[in-house]
Structure 1
Amino acid sequence: MPKILLAFPGGKHKVLTMSYDDGQAADRRLVDIFNRHGIKGTFHLNSGLLGEGSRIPAEEVAALYAGHEVSAHTLTHPTIARSPKEQLVEEIMEDRKRLERLVGYTVRGLSYPNGSFTREIKAMLPFLGIEYARAVKGTGQFGMPDDLYEWQPTCHHNHQLIQTADDFAKLNKTQYLYMLYVWGHSYEFDRDENWGIIEEFSRFIGGRDDIWYATNLEIVDYMKAFRQLKFAADSRFAFNPSAESVWLKVDGETVEVPGGRQVQFA
């Protein structure tokens, strides 16, 4: 029986994803930095607040965040653990509807506004079309999420970001999958006058051959595609019923299992 391990696209074993909330004007500069260094981000927006004050206007959303992911952050940013369930449904579903009309694809992720959530809220999210939700408490670690409805990032960008990136870059044990997940608000760079930290981070960690640069949702979809693979009882072949390719390490060799195809391993 062959020894099979999941890999990221291209056989990589590390993934970087970035997550930024609120859709403030400073997103323009942040997106430009990410684009220059091949980094992908997920941007969690309150569609009911777009265009207010310094927030990105609705008509700019599709073009600005092209190549990244637009995700929900509730319609008006309430502390949802204090809200009735009827308001929660409205806040999430209306946010999804408005954002989807702007970007033209299904919005299936969420970051909890004010970091607020409960077990009851987590249980409701799958019925509202939400497939993952990001919390705010950093782990300081590089593991994959165990609970997609309480997805904990590695760190906020103000918490030892450069040292954390250096530690991530040095990880070389290919028997593990590693994820660096950084979150924050772009306006904090203006407030703290520390744009240099995200510039330095992006120059250092971007463009590496051993890292997959992905949005939050791309990671979720990829992991689901892996779980949908249909393996033979002796693991000598696998059928991929999904649309996207899944990459495996089979006895140490990189193998692609294309969408809609069956691949023989031995």
Structure 2
Amino acid sequence: MPKILSCYPEGKLKALTMSYDDGVLSDRRLASIFNKNGIKGTFHINSGMFGDTRYRARLSEEESLEVYQGHEVSVHTVTHPSIARCPKEQVLYEIMDDRKNLERLFGYPVRGMSYPNGSYSQEIIEMLPVFGIEYARVVQTTGGYQLPENFLEWKATCHHNQNLMQHAETFVSLPPKNINLMYVWGHSYEFDDKDNWDVIEQFCDYIGGREDIWYATNIEIVDYVKAYKNLRFSADQHLVFNPSAQSVWILLDEQPVEIPGGRTLTLF
């Protein structure tokens, strides 16, 4: 019986995704660094604070359209409250109105978020699917490279202040035995505060442009994992049906096989 294992597109076993909060002016420089190195980011935006200059200067709506092109924008609530302390009605407003505002501006369904101030509760987690939210990033980190057990309580590998280059070197050197994900989060204004843009520039230069890494946004990771889990195999594993619209890849006896969306494939 052939051995069938999961993998990322084109048979890759490593993926990298980046996650940055608040929609601040320094996202311009960060997105430029990502673009230079072929890295994709997800930017979590407070739509009620576009153009705000009172504390951390925010991008305007017009600037955001340019800066985040090719990346993902995601919910961070309208006004950035600690939502675990808010009544349910306010949680509904903060998340759903942020979704609506971002969708009107960027022109696609917004389906993820990061919790503002890292604030959430089990009750909020249970509410999110009703709001159309399919993933939500927390501020706690794992130090590891596994896919999350629960995308609605998604822990990153590390904050960019947590031994970033050491993590990058470990990740790059991982043997091709398991499916791995490196997930980095932070705020781009932290590089201004600490005058250490070299940290993220060095990281992106080192880890970008590698043929064995899939560079993806948060929602692309979620969509791909769900599509893989939705594959339907015959009882003898001779046939596989992919009911999703996107291609999914598997390793068949260590060889990558593409299963196009909507197709049934004979494996052996």
Q: Same fold (TM over 0.5)?
A: yes
Q: CA deviation at 1:63?
A: 2.0
Question: Which residue is equivalent to 1:160?
Answer: 163
Among candidates 124, 138, 143, match of residue 140 of structure 1 = 143
Q: CA deviation at 1:175?
A: 3.0
- d(CA) in 1 for partners of 2:2, 2:217: 31
Letter in 2 for 1:251: D
Question: Which residue is equivalent to 2:261?
Answer: 259
Among candidates 179, 184, 196, match of residue 177 of structure 1 = 179
Question: Which residue is equivalent to 1:91?
Answer: 94
Q: CA deviation at 1:2?
A: 2.4
What are the Cα deviations for residues 87-129 of structure 1, in whole angstroms up to 9, with x where unaligned? Answer: 0000000000000011100000010000000000000000000
Question: Which residue is equivalent to 1:36?
Answer: 36
- d(CA) in 2 for partners of 1:225, 1:63: 30
What are the Cα deviations for residues 196-229 of structure 1, in whole angstroms up to 9, with x where unaligned? Answer: 0000000000000110000000000001111111
Letter in 2 for 1:202: C
Question: Which residue is equivalent to 2:129?
Answer: 126
Verify the 8 A CA contact 1:2 1:236 in the aligned structure 2. Answer: no
What are the Cα deviations for residues 171-192 of structure 1, in whole angstroms up to 9, with x where unaligned? Answer: 01x2311110000000000001
- Give the TM-score, by structure 2 length: 0.98
Question: Which residue is equivalent to 2:15?
Answer: 15
Among candidates 234, 237, 247, match of residue 236 of structure 2 = 234
Q: CA deviation at 1:86?
A: 0.2
Q: CA deviation at 1:255?
A: 0.4
Q: Secondary structure at the match of 2:24?
A: coil
Question: Which residue is equivalent to 1:2?
Answer: 2
Moved more, 51-60 or 91-100: 51-60
Residue 62 of structure 2 corresponds to residue 74 of structure 1: no
Letter in 2 for 1:133: A
Verify the 8 A CA contact 1:42 1:216 in the aligned structure 2. Answer: yes
- d(CA) in 1 for partners of 2:201, 2:155: 24
Aligned length: 265
Q: Secondary structure at the match of 1:137?
A: strand
Among candidates 198, 202, 220, match of residue 196 of structure 1 = 198
What are the Cα deviations for residues 24-78 of structure 1, in whole angstroms up to 9, with x where unaligned? Answer: 0000000000000000000000000111011010122222111110000000000
Question: Which residue is equivalent to 1:186?
Answer: 188
- d(CA) in 1 for partners of 2:256, 2:177: 13
Letter in 1 for 2:194: D
Q: Secondary structure at the match of 2:78?
A: coil
Letter in 2 for 1:80: I
Q: Secondary structure at the match of 2:81?
A: coil
- d(CA) in 2 for partners of 1:158, 1:230: 41
Q: Secondary structure at the match of 1:17?
A: strand
Question: Which residue is equivalent to 1:244?
Answer: 246
Verify the 8 A CA contact 1:246 1:258 in the aligned structure 2. Answer: yes
Q: Secondary structure at the match of 1:135?
A: strand
Q: Secondary structure at the match of 1:74?
A: coil
- d(CA) in 2 for partners of 1:147, 1:239: 25
- d(CA) in 1 for partners of 2:236, 2:67: 48
- d(CA) in 1 for partners of 2:36, 2:254: 33
Q: Secondary structure at the match of 1:152?
A: strand
Q: CA deviation at 1:84?
A: 0.2
Gaps in structure 2 of 5+ consecutive residues: none
- d(CA) in 2 for partners of 1:186, 1:179: 21
Q: Secondary structure at the match of 1:209?
A: coil
Verify the 8 A CA contact 1:2 1:265 in the aligned structure 2. Answer: no
- Give the TM-score, by structure 1 length: 0.98
